[in-house]
Structure formats: structure tokens, C-alpha cells
Chains A and B, each alone.
Chain A
Amino acid sequence: MWEQIKQALLQSTARFLTEFASLLPGLAALIVAVLLSLVLGWVLAIVVRRVLIGLRFDQRMAGWGFASMGEGSPLGSPTALVSRSLFLLVVLTGFLIGVAAFDFAWTSLFVRSILSYIPNIIGAVLVLVVGTIIARFVARSVLIGAVNLNLQYARLLSEGVKWLVIVLSVAMALEHLRIARGIVELAFGILFGGIVFGLALAIGLGSRDLVTKSLERDTKKAPEEIEDPLRHL
């Protein structure tokens, strides 16, 4: 009886040690891959940072409407954001290569599913970045246009338009990531509709006095008062 127990223990220990030994090359490969990717990512991040500084990337981003991104933002300046993202991407790739070195069915499945999901992530990030750029550009256009039309609610209008575009791009990005599609659609509809309704209400109520004043001024004006002597050209 004791012999049988001893035999079973020895066999299980041998099996465990064999299994563990078979894991070691994969583990070593994972450590090497992560270390290499850390070094490679660090070098690449430094190179990209220097190139972007040389290209005055931060100033250009400020020109495109990202002036406030670096000030007090947890993401730092646009240059820092790009170089850190690149570093993380390289480290993640190294980790996935290391994981794939384990010759198990579940690891290859895991890596395959992650790799097949990467295009969705890239697409979603692109949608978000482009959406944010468009949102800021449109917001600035609306703000300047509204100020030139002497609209007191220029800022509100500009912010409203900006958030409309951002909400739209976030919804599109989540749709791309295939995350809780039903909820996203519903939430998007509610948010988008809410912003439009809020803007309409705010502008409608806010401009009530303006419209009244404008109508009063038009009816009270004598014909000779309408003539404006100002000529720009």
C-alpha cells in the first residue's frame, strides 16, 4: 500500500517536474522577449521623441486645436503621448511574442484572438483621434463664427458642437471594438439627442430676449436710421 502511494507521489512529482521543465524554455523566451521589447521600445521612444521635437510636433498640434492637451493633462504633451504609446505597443508586442513561445493550445489561441482584435483597436483609436481633431476644429470654427455674429452664447454653441462630434466618435469607436453594442447604441441615442435638445433649449431660451430686442429695434427704426455709413472696402 505504502509502496503504491510512494510510487504515485514519485510519478506525479516526475510529471510535474517534467511539465515544469518543459515550461522553462517558454518562460525564458517570455522574459527575453519582454526584456528585448523593453529595450527596443525605450530606444524607439527616444528616437520618435527627438524626431517629433525636431518637427515641432507640439506646436503643430496646438495649431490644430490641441493647445490645452499638454497643460496639466495626465497624458502630457502630444510628443510624450506618442512616444509613450509607441513604447507600450512595442512592450505589448514583445509580451505577446513571449506568450506565443509557450507551446500550448490555449496560449496560441489567446495570442491569435488578441492579434485578430488589434485591427479593431487600431481602427477605434484612429476614429477617436480623427473625431477629436474634427471636433476641435469644428468647435473653433463655430466659436469664431458665432462671436463674429455677436452671439452671446457662442461658447455654449461651440462646446455643444464639440461634444456632439466627440460623442459620435466615441460611439463609433466602441462599435468598432464590439463592446456592448446594444447599450452603446442606446446610450449614444440618449446622449446625442440630449445634447441637441439641451442646445436647442438653451439657445431658444437664451436668445428670447435677443429676438425680442431685434424685432423691437427693427420696428422702431426710422428709414433714415437704417443707413449705415460704415464701408469696409
Chain B
Amino acid sequence: MATNSIPASPPEEAKPIESADLVIGILADLSPEAVTTMCQTLGTLPGSLRIAVLQNGDPVNPSPANRSATPQSSTVSFAPSLLAKPGGAGTAPLNMAAAYQSVFAAGEKLGSRACCILASRLESETGRSAYRLAEPLLNGELDLVVPRYARHRFEGLLNSSIVAPLMRALYGKRLSNPMGPDFGVSRRLVQRLVGRERTGRGAANGLHPLASLTPLALCENLHVAELHLGTRSYPPPDWTNTASLVAEILGPVFLDIERNAACWQRMRVSAAVPAIGEPVSVQSDTASLDTSRLVESFALANRELQEIWSLILPPSTLVELRKLSRLRSEEFQMPDDVWVRIVYDFALAHRLRPINRDHLLKSMTPLYLGWVASYAHDLERDNAVPPDQRLERLAGAFEAGKPYFVSRWRWPDRFNP
């Protein structure tokens, strides 16, 4: 049985790693203590595994004081040179894509059985998250482990309002965070992803691991599970950059919808996936949101972007939006079916390209902010339902609206309500 080989001094790549059973890519900005804990926990994985940890910056150098007293069965080594260096803003989704690809490439090169990526800071148990992501993959039961975070009601709304319900309706699995960003991926799925990139269907067409992993696993009928990971630490919103964020997230999602059209048109109903671990509930979720700015943004866009929206949305939706813009700020309420049709119409327009794709996605931002305002109003009513139930209702509306999307996708010119 090997002992923990977290290097006593920085390894400086003196002895390059030639193979590994498990590759861990740390993309989050974790403290040295958290990384040390993570490595020590990984060392307790059974089976004398060789584990390669990819992290930018200096590898941790644990002092004897913080070395684990628990027996270590696996070997943990650092290979920072195998990880793509983030350029500029390190957490921007496009930079993240390169980092993900480098982790998967390292997994392929080292012949690992699984890859895990940690891209977010968790509020508790960050040190154990890699262990928990890796364990079910190494048992050979699963191909993809996606996170399920406990979140406050105004957190992760781009995911909750568009990405998660859209993927659920299209690919037929109820996943809370299909775009991670923390993932556990089996060798089989990595090979399929890398294979897709090599055949030119990937990188040339903007294959983005964050957006493509889950649809690929679901379309290939691989085994997917959710892992309860607790609460994430989210960066505060940058209001001047919301449109770019929306475009960077939704662009790859819509591209993937186009790529997997044959797959998702076959799916009919959604089903739950197995969940690992115990759900964590958030405390003191009473934050309120000032919606006046959101409604103002929606109203301004409704006045100025009609010419652009008319190239994307059918007349009936434009009429609905005009009606909404006449409502007072506190009465603002966007019906779920209108929002669902908007998302589907934008996904279709992304395929048909009636306007430049960047313009298309950025012009969706005020509509998304309008939905956020409507959601906030829903939660603050006297008879308000809990956020999870509210989002479940929205997901149901996405599923109910799928025939509309399929019709428009198949006959974009003929079917235009």
C-alpha cells in the first residue's frame, strides 16, 4: 500500500507523472489548507490509486503539523503544467472551457479512470468534495456526477430560469445544475467528448465542455447522478457585464441544442436521476430584491429593441411583451408560458441566425431581467410558494412547451403563431 506522497517540497516536475487512476483539476481559487485537506482525503480512497492533482500556482507544501493522521492508501501527486493557464478573468466561462479541456486532455494522456473538476468554492466541506465526486465514478457505477447545490432563492438564476429547465425538457432528466461547474466524469465520457472534438464536430463548432458534458452523457444513455454538495460561494453580480455573461452561457447551450437536435426530439417525458448524499438546506433565506431596476431595464428594452425582437419572436409574444411593459413595477408579472416561448424562440433564432448571434443573445438580457423581477414578485407575495416549488412549476412549463419548440424547429417558416 502506498503512502501519501504529497510532496514535502515543491516537486518542480522533477519526475513527470506518466499515468494516473484519477485526475483532479482544481480550477477554483482554494486556500492552501483546503487543498491540503482535499489531498489528504483523496489519499484515503481505497485501492492504492495514483491520483494526479492539476492546479495552477505553487503546489501545496504541507508542514508536518497539518499532515493527516489518517492512514493513506492512495498516492497523490501534483501536475500543474498539464492545466491550461487562465488568461484574463479566470472565471470567465470561455477561459473555463480551455481549463476543462486541459483537464480532460490530461486524463486521456495519463490514462485515468475518471476526472474530477472543482471549479467553485463551497461554503463547507470543500476538502471532501473531490473525494465525494470521485468515489462513485471509481466504483464504476456512473459516468457523470453533476452537483446539486443548496442555494438561496436569488442565487444561480440564469441556471434556474433557463439552463436547467431547458435541458430537463429537452433531454429528459431532472438535473439541478447541468452545467456544473463541479463535475466528476468517467473515462468513457471523457473519451466520447474528446472523440467528438477530434472528429471536428466539437471545437470547430464551438464545443464547450461546461455545456456539452451533460447533453452528451444523456444522449449517449450513460449513467448520470446528482451529488448534494452544499452551498456555493457566488461572485457578486457585475451589472455592466450581465449581457456578456448571458451570451457566454447561453451561446454554447444553444449550439449544443442544434448539435443534438436528433437526440432531444426523441425524448418525451422527464425523469429524476439518482441523488448521492443528503440534501443541505440553506439558513435565513429572507433576502429581498429591488426589482425596480430590472423592470426599468425591461421597459426600456421593450421600447427600443422592438425592431430586433421582431426578427426573433412571433407577433403574439411581442403583443404580450407590450402588455407587460405597461404594468406598474410592483405588479410586473411574466407568465411562465410567455417566458418559455421566449427561450425557445431565442434558441431557434440562434440556429436560424436572423441576426448576428452575439446581438441575439445580448438582446435577450432585458427579458431575462424581466423574468427575474417577476420571480422576485412571486416569492414576495402573501401566498408565495417556496422557491423550489416555483422553479418546479417553471420546469413543468418548459416541458409543456416542448411541442411548440419541436414544431418551430421542424417547420420554422410554416409554424409561426
- Measured CB to CB, the residues of A under 8 A from B are 59, 62-65, 67-68, 137, 140-141, 143-145, 147-150, 152, 154-155, 228-233
Contacts and interface: CB of A to CB of B under 8 A. Distances in A.
Nearest to B248: A233
Interface string B217-259: 0000000000000000011110010110110010000000000
Given A67-B311, A228-B290, 11 more contacts: A59-B354, A62-B355, A65-B355, A147-B300, A147-B301, A147-B366, A148-B301, A148-B365, A150-B297, A230-B372, A233-B249
Nearest to A146: B304
A161 to B, nearest CB: 14
A158 B4 CA distance: 62
16 contacts: A63-B354, A140-B308, A141-B359, A143-B304, A144-B363, A147-B304, A147-B363, A148-B301, A148-B362, A148-B365, A150-B293, A150-B297, A154-B304, A229-B287, A231-B154, A231-B157
B362 A232 contact: no
Given A63-B311, A137-B356, A155-B304, A149 B234 contact: no
Contacts of A228: 236-237, 289-290
Nearest to B158: A232
Interface pairs A-B: 10 shortest CB-CB? A229-B287, A231-B234, A148-B243, A231-B155, A232-B158, A229-B154, A230-B154, A144-B362, A63-B354, A147-B301
Contacts of A154: 300, 304
Contacts of A67: 307, 311
Nearest to A229: B287
A92 B343 CA distance: 51
A63 B355 CA distance: 4
Q: Which of A64, A137, A232 has the most CB of B within 10 A?
A: A232
Contacts of B135: none
B393 to A, nearest CB: 20
A225 to B, nearest CB: 9
Contacts of A155: 304
Contacts of B159: 233
Contacts of B243: 144-145, 148
A140 B154 contact: no
B213 to A, nearest CB: 16
Contacts of B301: 147-148
A65 B360 CA distance: 12
Given A228-B236, A231-B237, A152 B152 contact: no
A229 B308 CA distance: 31
B234 A143 contact: no
Contacts of B156: 231-233
Nearest to A140: B359
Nearest to A155: B304
